[in-house]
Amino acid sequence: MERNIRLVISYDGTDFHGWQAQPGLRTVQGEIESVALRVVRHPLSIRGSGRTDAGVHARGQVANFHTTCEIPTDNLRRAIQARLPLDVSLRRADEVHPDFVASASATSKLYRYRIHNSTHRPVDGHTQRHTYHCWHALDVARMQEAATHFIGEMDYSAMAGAGCVRETMVRRVLRCDIHRHFEEVRVDVAGTGFLYNQVRNMVGTLIEIGRGRWEPDRLRTILASLDRRQAGPTAPAQGLSLQWVRYPPELLQPVESNTAIVPR
């Protein structure tokens, strides 16, 4: 019987050419597919909830694959985990509904961007692989005021990466929260989906406001322009991490768990 297996994965993206498998390049998807194939012993295709770029990290990337292998999920997780490289960790493996698709079934996801905001280098705290160093003092209150303009459903063309062409550029941002944790400024962005480089462009624009170059209300004008050239620079990849992806609860259970028991 074929089973649908959901994986929850963490990885340090520094030494990967992103999530998506590419010939001749080291990618997260490629590493996991190679290991999973050796464990289940049949061809498979692992589908992720979304593509992370080279250098971007994940604490809660989600993927799924179909298998006829009968290894219990706990043992399956341990077998795959034991063979993965040290910069990838398989946090969970669960059998889910046959209709579950890591990308199409997602209802929301959250990205965190970490900014090392100090004149001291992030290597002092060994965070240089996971933060962007901004030595200009950032005003978090100004950034948070500006971030309110991101909330809602709208055309995010001004925040899309160069060459990003989709059927619709409309996306829905559920929240955008900024807070300081000692020398680190963290930007948490949750939404139902994102355009290519959208979060990194949002952060780059907020940094310009936080350092005092622009007023918070300018963000409203930037978004209305639908012009990427009006926004701030793209924040570097190393500060970004996919924290979690959420799904409808009914899709996170196998068929047997969703089948009602009819009393006789």
**Within the chain, which residues score under 50 in pLDDT?**
257-264
Contact 2, 66 (CB under 8 A): yes
User: Considering only CA atoms, which of 231, 208, 190 is closest in space to residue 142?
Assistant: 208
CA–CA separation, 21 and 117 (whole Å): 34
Contact 232, 210 (CB under 8 A): no
For residue 260, give both structure tokens.
């009602």
For residue 161, give both structure tokens.
């990466």
pLDDT of residue 261: 38
Could you tell me how far CA 143 lies from the centroid of its own chain? 21
**Length of the chain in residues, anyone?**
264
| Residue range 123-171, pLDDT digits in tens | 999 999 999 999 999 999 999 999 999 999 999 999 998 777 778 999 9
For residue 250, give both structure tokens.
């009914």
Residue 87 neighbours by CB under 8 Å, 6+ apart:
11, 12, 14, 15, 16
**Read out DSSP for 49-85?**
SSPPPTT-EEEEEEEEEEE-----HHHHHHHHHHHS-
Residues forming the active site = 53
In this prediction the pTM is 0.93
Contact 26, 18 (CB under 8 A): no
CA–CA separation, 107 and 172 (whole Å): 11
Q: Which CATH number fits domain 108-244: 3.30.70.660, 1.20.1440.230, 1.10.10.10, 3.30.465.10?
A: 3.30.70.660
Domains 3-105 and 108-244 share a fold: yes
Q: Determine the CATH number of domain 3-105.
A: 3.30.70.580
For the four alpha carbons of 162, 164, 170 and 175, in that order, the dihedral sign comes to negative
pLDDT of residue 262: 39
Contact 47, 102 (CB under 8 A): yes
Amino acid of residue 130: H
pLDDT of residue 264: 37
240-246 and 108-116: which strand pairing?
antiparallel
Amino acid of residue 109: K
Give domain limits for the chain: 3-105, 108-244
Kindly report the backbone phi and psi dihedral angles of residue 198, in degrees, each rounded to the nearest multiple of 5, phi listed first. Answer: -60, -50
CA–CA separation, 238 and 114 (whole Å): 9
